[in-house]
Amino acid sequence: MKIVLPSEQETEAFGARLWQELPNQCVVFLNGTLGAGKTTLVRGFLRAGGHKGAVKSPTYTLVEEYQLDYQLIYHFDLYRLKDPEELEWIGIQDYFAEKAICFIEWPEMGKGMLPDADMVINIAVEEQHRVLDIQKKQQHND
């Protein structure tokens, strides 16, 4: 599914809509160049959940944790990761074992250490707008 978002505010509004759609435990990969709007989308999601504080990219901290009502959210930014094995040092598997929503920017940097995504959002910058290409994990009824 492709969605065109003409502004930063629309990108944030899309993130807010995800608050109603995502299950309590899932992994969302966010792909896009620097400045594409990955953190803006997460900010919209967190604001919809009632977060009032700042939302910054966890580029230097690797992960930011947010507790909203009864929902735990982890926002990862793997841009500065040198080796996927570094994720073992922070106990990455413990994050995914929790009942939490995990947004992961630059997931390719953690290849081999991350679970499969439940949703992949690719954000491309085209002229003055963003184009989102969204892929959801297929549910199988076996």
Q: Which band of pLDDT confidence, cut at 50, 70 and 90, is reported for residue 142?
A: very low
Fold classified for 2-104: Rossmann fold (3.40.50)
Domain ranges of the chain: 2-104
Over residues 93-128, the pLDDT tens digits come to 999 999 999 999 999 999 999 999 999 999 998 888
Which residues pair with residue 131 across a beta bridge? 4, 124
- The Cα 33–Cα 105 span in angstroms is 10
Q: Which two tokens stand for residue 40?
A: 């803006």
Instruction: Work out the number of other CB atoms within 10 angstroms of the CB of residue 14.
Output: 21
Between CA 35 and CA 111 the distance in angstroms is 22
The per-residue pLDDT for 138 is 64
AA identity, residue 127: E
Residue 69 confidence (pLDDT): 83
Give the torsion sign (CA, 45, 138, 130, 80): positive
